[in-house]
Amino acid sequence: MTEGGRALLSSDSIGAIADIARSTRDAERAFTVAGIKLERQPVTQYEGTVIVASTRSHVSRTLRRLDLCDPKVVRAVLRATVALAEIYESLPTADKSRLVRLRHCLAADGFPLDPTGDPMAAIRTLGTIAADVLPDASAIRVELARLERSLDDDPSLAIGKAKNLIEATAKAVLAQKGQPVGTNLNVPTLVKGAMEVLGVHPEQVDATKSPLVRDILADLRDLALKIGTLRNKVGDGHGSSAAVTGIDARDSRLAVRAAIAWCAYMLDSLSDPPGRQPSAQAGASG
């Protein structure tokens, strides 16, 4: 740990994370995906008895050896923690009080486990929506994984991946609706085509019935288009003779949230088309 720095995760949080680690194999996998090597507690002997450390000990040892003053390291720990929490929650023997304690400890340190507005949480939620709506969500899942890896460390790359996510979602919508998807379609064409095929393009909305909805849809469309433009200026898609300036992590997170808002609305509209009438049973009586 960095000398003189303040650890961003408390001992309480470290203990709470270690308490939900049930399987060394699962813990090793969760940490490896987050870019952290699980430091195993060595086997010891006492009076002829071999003592094998528990998974909790391995996890605690690993966390206490990390530089928890470094925000990037802490973000990696939180990614591993989310995976461990999901695994633990799925166990039939899971003790919910451990998860409650974990959430409280992390929240006290300023890291809610699933904070509202957290782009990481939004990324994972969109992946779940895509899997529920699409017969093949692999293209979207690939872009979401790339987006998650770049979000905090490379704003330019994250903006590029946000644009790619919009493209992947638009193509998935068009394919699902039986429309041709060319290989050279640009963002404006894809956005327009996907919104039109779903009947949610602002020009398709009757302004006399829902003028505010039409205005919001126009703003949502413009956000998607502007992310494409932003990517062309500062994203990772084009080489540059000089480093990109004037863009930082909060700007890339804004772009990611905007991209997810458009994509989520597209997938929602795909599963629940606008103007769909209630079931026949609802209006059959009388």
Question: What is the structure's pLDDT at 116?
Answer: 47
The helix/strand count (H/E) of the chain reads as 11, 2
Backbone angles phi, psi at 49, to 5 degrees: -100, 130
Stretch 76-85: mean pLDDT, rounded? 88
Least confident segment among 86-90, 154-158, 239-243: 239-243
Structural fold of domain 119-271: Four Helix Bundle (Hemerythrin (Met), subunit A) (1.20.120)
Question: What is the structure's pLDDT at 3?
Answer: 40
Q: What is the pLDDT of residues 192-202, one digit of tens each?
A: 999 999 999 99
CA nearest neighbour of 76 among 3, 84, 255: 84
Question: What is the structure's pLDDT at 225?
Answer: 95
Residue 49 pairs with which residues in a beta bridge? 46
Question: What is the structure's pLDDT at 278?
Answer: 37
The one-character DSSP state at 136 is -
CA-CA distance, 38 to 16, in Å (whole number)? 17
* 257 CA to centre of own chain: 10
Q: How confident is the model at residue 235 (pLDDT cuts 50, 70, 90)?
A: low
Answer whether residue 15 shows pLDDT above 60: yes
Q: Where in the chain is the domain with CATH 1.20.120?
A: 119-271
Stretch 267-271: mean pLDDT, rounded? 89
Question: What is the structure's pLDDT at 109?
Answer: 83
Q: What is the pLDDT of residues 98-116, one digit of tens each?
A: 989 998 898 888 776 654 4
Answer whether residue 59 shows pLDDT above 80: yes
Q: E strands within the chain?
A: 44-46, 49-51
Question: What is the structure's pLDDT at 133?
Answer: 86
| Distance (Å) of CA 111 to CA 14, 52, 107 | 13, 32, 5
Question: What is the structure's pLDDT at 52?
Answer: 65
CA nearest neighbour of 146 among 247, 243, 235: 235
